[in-house]
Amino acid sequence: MKKIYFITGSQDLYGDETLKQVAVDSQEMVAFLNEKVKKAEIVWQNTVRNSEEAEDVLLRASADKDCIAVITWMHTFSPAKMWIKGLQRLMKPLLHLHTQFNRELPYKTIDMDFMNLNQSAHGDREYGFICTRLGIQREVVAGYYKNESVLKRINRFVDVAIAMDFSHSLRVAMFGNNMRDVAVTDGDRVESEIRFGWNVNYYGIGDLVELVDGVTQKEVDEKMASYAEKYEIRTDNLDAVKEQAKYEIALEKFLAKERIGAFTDTFQDLHGLKQLPGLAVQNVMANGVGFGPEGDYKTSALMAVLCKMAEGRTGATAFLEDYTYDLCEGEELELASHMLEVSPVFADGKPTVEVHPLGIGGKEPPARLVFDGIVGKGIAVSMVDMGTHFRLICANIELVKQPEAMPKLPVARVMWKILPDFASGAESWIYAGGAHHAVVSTALTKEDIALFAKLTDTEVVFIGF
């Protein structure tokens, strides 16, 4: 399990008695937090009393590969010049917890000793100043540490820190390059690695074809059995389904061998494959592997990161594309889908496996999952490259039931309402330069994206909240 260092600040002036009490109190807080935080272990650190100790612990946090973040709290006053050198060395996300060990003020017994021991109001302001002066992007959470609202924000920070740690070592494979002439899916791959850690590399589709050719009959049979369990097979063309089973097996092997967490393909570069990967990609996506079509590495990587952030929560997270609208005034709806690749995490009910011709790409009819989408509150998140910086665009949407059946539409689809209304929402998205590809999530919220943007120092535009 990943770790989060919990660092309590104080100083030498108070004497042993006070420092002993600071240590006892902060250990009790850490024990409590470990009951409430499930996705990482909070690790108590010795109280920091001076500049050398601050630098030592923050350097250790930065160097510890298992440490994904740091929580700091000033139990007493802690003169902040002593934090400068340590904070300059800190490379991990920071949560500044502004709290107290005691909840109520002990009105009847309070004296100067109590005041000296419990002065977060004082010490956290001094510490906050130096963080701001140093320009450190961090999350400040104020309130009694046992409050549900405070714990909720700490847990959100943990989710985002885990996602950032994952992002830092995310490897992205592009089968083929960006779709010819498409602008928004392209981007600066070097800058993506500098900003987010994404190591994005090109692979020849032949590397995958070789693995496809090596898939055994037994492996295909097992995969077909798993399809029959999860889905309703609604086709006689089982050979086409088996072809996708091979692609899925080959993809899984490739991802494992190259330690890849997100990938792209493009229908313009499928040499050696009989079909555009559809069912195969849909299944791989359902496991939280990032996917972007047409060489869209940003959407692919962002999907993998947001799936990591959403781990353990209820709801669905995956790539979707803005496709077409119902523009009845006041009731406008968007239909989101793709040529084939819609993750079954969005399925309302049991998807069907179907084989239909594809009008683009000149390949054999591919097998794909077809289903109607789930309903509920959601967000659509897009990342674009502005040339000087990356921009996140996060829109408020409400996934809705499709008003009527669409018996002739051979792809999975999700429908939603753009908020606050169609014109403002769609116009804002277009002004902001938002892509036609997005990561849609019913598990994550605006607050998660805001925190991710803040801690990664990324520009973000919110629409419809």
CB nearer to Mn ion: give 100 or 337: 337
Residue 139 as a binder of Mn ion (CB under 5 A): the answer is: no
**What does the per-residue mask of binding to Mn ion show for 282-321, with x meaning CB under 5 A?**
-----------x---------------------------x
* Residue number with CB closer to Mn ion (18 or 300): 300
Q: Where are the beta strands (DSSP E) in 330-375?
A: 333-337, 352-355, 367-370
Q: Give me the least distance between CB of 291 and Mn ion, in Å please.
A: 11
- In the complex, what is the shortest distance from the CB of residue 264 to Mn ion, in angstroms, rounded to a whole number? 11
Q: Which is nearer to Mn ion, 252 or 269 (by Cβ)?
A: 269
Using the minimum distance from each CB to Mn ion, give the nearer residue, 321 or 372: 321
Whose Cβ is closer to Mn ion: residue 293's or residue 434's? 293
Reading the block at residue 90, the tokens are 């800190």
Minimal distance, residue 455 CB to Mn ion, in Å: 29
How many positions of this chain bind Mn ion (CB under 5 A)?
2
Instruction: Tell me how far, at minimum, the Cβ of 323 lies from Mn ion, in Å.
Output: 9
Query: Taking the chain, what is the end-to-end CA distance rounded to the nearest angstrom?
Result: 35
- Cα separation, 147 vs 151, in Å, equals 6
Residue 341 near Mn ion by CB under 5 A: no
Give the Cα separation of 33 and 28 in Å (integer): 9
Q: Which residue, 290 or 293, has its beta carbon nearer to Mn ion?
A: 293
Smallest separation, CB 436 to Mn ion (Å):
6
How many whole angstroms separate alpha carbon 26 and alpha carbon 118?
A: 12
Cα distance between residue 160 and residue 444, in whole Å: 11
Show the beta-strand stretches assigned E in 329-413: 333-337, 352-355, 367-370, 376-385, 390-400
Is 159 a binder of Mn ion (CB under 5 A)? Answer: no
Is residue 265 a contact residue for Mn ion (CB under 5 A)? no
Closer CB to Mn ion, 179 or 406, in the complex: 179
CA–CA separation, 48 and 34 (whole Å): 21
CB neighbour burial string for 11-24, b if at least 16 within 10 angstroms, e if fewer: beebeeebbebbbe
* In the complex, minimum distance from the CB of residue 438 to Mn ion, in angstroms, rounded to a whole number: 10
**Least CB distance to Mn ion at residue 437 (A):** 6
Query: Binding to Mn ion by residue 354, rule CB under 5 A?
Result: no
**Cβ-contact 334, 360 below 8 angstroms:** no
The answer to whether 291 and 284 are in contact (CB under 8 A) is yes
* Footprint of Mn ion (CB under 5 A): 293, 321
